Amino acid sequence: VSVYIARENSPDEPRVAGSVESVKNLKGLGLDVVVEAGAGLGSRVPDAEFEKAGARIGTAADAKSADVILKVRRPTAEEIGGYRSGAIVIAIMDPYGNDAAIAAMAAAGLTAFAMELMPRITRAQSMDVLSSQANLAGYQAVIDAAHEYDRALPMMMTAAGTVPAAKVFIMGAGVAGLQAIATARRLGAMVSATDVRPAAKEQVASLGAKFIAVEDEEFKAAETAGGYAKEMSRDYQVKQAALVAEHIAKQDIVITTALIPGRPAPRLVTRAMLDAMKPGSVVVDLAVERGGNVEGAEAGKVVELGGVKVVGHLNVPGRIAASASLLYAKNLVTFLETMVSKETKALAVNMEDELAKATALTHGGAVVHPAFGGANG
Ligand code: NAD
């Protein structure tokens, strides 16, 4: 079985779907590994390091003979043309709203797995790319905020005077938000956080941050069986906005991470709220790629609105690419491991397995995922 770790051709993607460790792991499973030349450069892994780990360095032409192609992003039409029919492609497929691209993978005869559709169950925890990348994004958001902020985060008592601790407010206390809380606390900030899921309250408190939320009857029922947030009612949103408006005016840094699966990100910070903040305050919108939590945030830009810097970096895990690639590569290896026979070292993909079933977009020339038009998923 040959595995091909592709170079990402998008200039916006410094991550790579492999690491020195993952190559060793794949070799350990009895697989041949080819890494496309230069694939690791954006994540500081030179070809020679992959080679030392047991990979052969190849070119895009080698993809044609690969049984399994590992990527960060969904392959382009051109890349698909370089794969053989029947090959497995595993990537972060960004499937929502991309039906044509999914159909193209089906037409090419690829078995395409979308890593972000991995079920959030104990068995799949080490394959959970949303968690591995959101964790780093939460950390990086604080680093980016600190970078844009003209003051220190920790309180500093010096002979020349005292610098007050920064007040940091984290909106959305899921994987990214909890890591942002922990990071801001380590830097010495005074941290508060909000969420609509009651389970978040205890988690926020356990990290030493203050929990702020409208805790009404709707809040008590806001978590879905899958652990995600529901879209809140108009009535709740109004109450939440009033609470947030009052709190936000006193904050120096706000980091928003709120998402609702399959829906646009909820709007949590309005222009009026930004205007109420002190000049020099910083707001980081981690949801900017999904429509944004912050009014006026611009994808890929840092904009100044009424004296407040609003940070809308794209691909935030990619800003910490070496670490992001390391964790992503591990997610891939543990998933691929479920598809390789320990005895024969051959591919033994069970499309009925709950992990394969949840993540498979295309197989046998058809779209198979029910959420994307497949009938027999
Ligand atoms: P997410 O990225 O979908 O959303 C981020 C956060 O925003 C969530 O905490 C959500 O409740 C919050 N949010 C949504 N709407 C909001 C609003 N209007 N106002 C304020 N906050 C709002 O979430 P996530 O980080 O992927 O985590 C979702 C859940 O899944 C969490 O409970 C997490 O602990 C759980 N999880 C479980 C596993 C596992 O069991 N394997 C793995 C990872 C995460």
> Which ligand 1 atom sits nearest the alpha carbon of residue 120?
41
Half-sphere exposure of 91 (CA within 13 A, CB side): 30
Cα distance between residue 287 and residue 314, in whole Å:
9
Determine whether the shortest distance from the Cβ of 130 to ligand 1 is under 6 A: yes
Q: What is the pTM of this model?
A: 0.95
| pLDDT of 375 | 65
Whole-number Å distance, alpha carbon 172 to ligand 1 midpoint, is 7
β-bridge partners, 255: 170, 284
Q: How do beta strands 32-36 and 2-5 pair?
A: parallel
Q: What is the pLDDT of residue 377?
A: 42
Q: How far apart are CA 286 and CA 157, in angstroms?
A: 32
In this structure, which residue's CA is closest to atom 34 in ligand 1?
A: 174
Nearest CA to ligand 1 atom 41: 120
For residue 220, report the distance from its CA to the centre of ligand 1, in Å.
15
131, 224, 243: which to mutate for ligand 1, most atoms within 8 A of CB?
A: 131
Q: What are the catalytic residues?
A: 120, 125, 128, 131, 228
What's the gap in Å between 173 CA and the centre of ligand 1?
A: 7
Which pLDDT score, from 0 to 100, does residue 268 have?
A: 95
ipTM of the complex: 0.96
pLDDT digit string (tens) for the chain, length 377 residues: 999 999 999 999 999 999 999 999 999 999 999 999 999 999 999 999 999 999 999 999 999 999 999 999 999 999 999 999 999 999 999 998 899 999 999 999 999 999 999 999 999 999 999 999 999 999 999 999 999 999 999 999 999 999 999 999 999 999 999 999 999 999 999 999 999 999 999 999 999 999 999 999 999 999 998 889 999 999 999 999 999 999 999 999 999 999 998 789 999 999 999 999 999 999 999 999 999 999 999 999 999 999 999 999 999 999 999 999 999 999 999 999 999 999 999 999 999 999 999 999 999 999 999 999 876 54
The response to whether residue 179 sits with its C-beta less than 6 Å from ligand 1 reads: no
- Beta strands (DSSP E) in the chain are 2-5, 32-36, 56-58, 68-73, 88-92, 111-114, 156-158, 161-163, 167-171, 190-194, 210-211, 253-256, 282-285, 302-305, 308-311, 360-363, 366-367
Calpha distance 109→95 (Å, rounded): 17
149 C-alpha to ligand 1 centroid (Å): 27
**Which of 201, 241, 233 shows the shortest CA–CA distance to 217?**
233
134 lines ligand 1 (CB under 6 A): yes
From the CA of 145, how far away is ligand 1's center (Å)?
21
Q: Is the CB of 312 under 6 A from ligand 1?
A: no
222 lines ligand 1 (CB under 6 A): no
